[in-house]
Amino acid sequence: MTEQKTAIVTGAGTGIGKSVATALLKGGWNTVFCGRRKPLLDAAIAEIGPTEARALAVACDISKAGEVDDLFETVAEAFGRVDLLFNNAGMGYKSTPIDEIPVEVWNDIVGVNLTGSFLCARAAFGAMRKQKPMGGRIINNGSVSAYAPRPGSVPYTATKHAITGLTKTLALDGRPYDIACGQIDIGNALTDMAQPMTVGVPQANGSISAEAVMDVQRVADAVLHMASLPLDANVLFMTVMATKMPFVGRG
């Protein structure tokens, strides 16, 4: 049962975040749509129409500790507790050799993908540890790049490898507090960000090739499954990918 449970989804204005937040809301979760651009969040909620569960749009730059604290205070006031965090917000950069990647780009990607995930997990862990009944679930959005990099993707791949470390440590540290932590690693879900996959992207052998993609709804279904488990069970890692994309044997 998800009645009266509250979920926070970061990066919920577009793509995977929007799809997952929509699925949670329709599945009976009070759902906080979080992102930097409030008009996108409001539009995402408006598209869904009436639901039994409540939706709330909160603008937040997750790379800023103060804004994350404000987000969780707002959620506590609105719903009283946090049962699920989907740490989804992230950013990438065009395929580029490391010596041509501006330091500012590195800092921005680390700030969102890693520091932002840390700040949100930190706030969620604190809330889940103190609330009654105690506990909750954190699901981190990893990537196939958490295991197998694409060419020219140093900042993105480094942060996604780090997310795996965050997931494993939270899964361990959460045990005494009934806090479960898992990771979903997604390959080629068709969003605006993944649109270039359908045209052609750099491959490990130096070629440019189009890749298979899958409906983003498959990701939403998978996250909903992970979220629906009782807290005595956890999907630690799940890979959901387009069946025919290069991953097994990549490179």
7, 24 in Cβ contact below 8 A?
A: yes
pLDDT of residue 126: 98
16, 44 in Cβ contact below 8 A?
A: no
Interatomic CA distance for residues 235 and 206, integer angstroms: 35
Assigned domain for 134 exists: yes
Give the total number of structural domains in the chain: 1
137, 227 in Cβ contact below 8 A?
A: yes
164, 212 in Cβ contact below 8 A?
A: no
Any idea what the CATH number is for the domain that residue 204 is in?
3.40.50.720
For 72-100, write each residue's pLDDT tens digit: 999 999 999 999 999 999 999 999 999 99
Assigned domain for 247 exists: no
Assigned domain for 184 exists: yes
Assigned domain for 248 exists: no
Collapsing DSSP to helix, strand or coil, 52 comes out as coil
Assigned domain for 1 exists: no
Assigned domain for 251 exists: no
CA distances to 11, 82, 121, 137, 180 from 171, rounded to whole Å, are 22, 17, 11, 9, 6
Interatomic CA distance for residues 188 and 16, integer angstroms: 11
Q: In which domain, by residue range, is 104 found? A: 6-241
Bridge-partner residues for 31, per DSSP? 7, 55
Q: Which residues of the chain have pLDDT under 70?
A: 1-3, 249-251
Assigned domain for 48 exists: yes
Q: Which residues are catalytic?
A: 156
Q: Which of 102, 97, 129, 7 is nearest to 58 (CA)?
A: 7
pLDDT of residue 2: 43
Q: What share of the chain is helix, strand, coil (3-state, %, to 5)?
A: 45, 20, 35
pLDDT of residue 152: 93
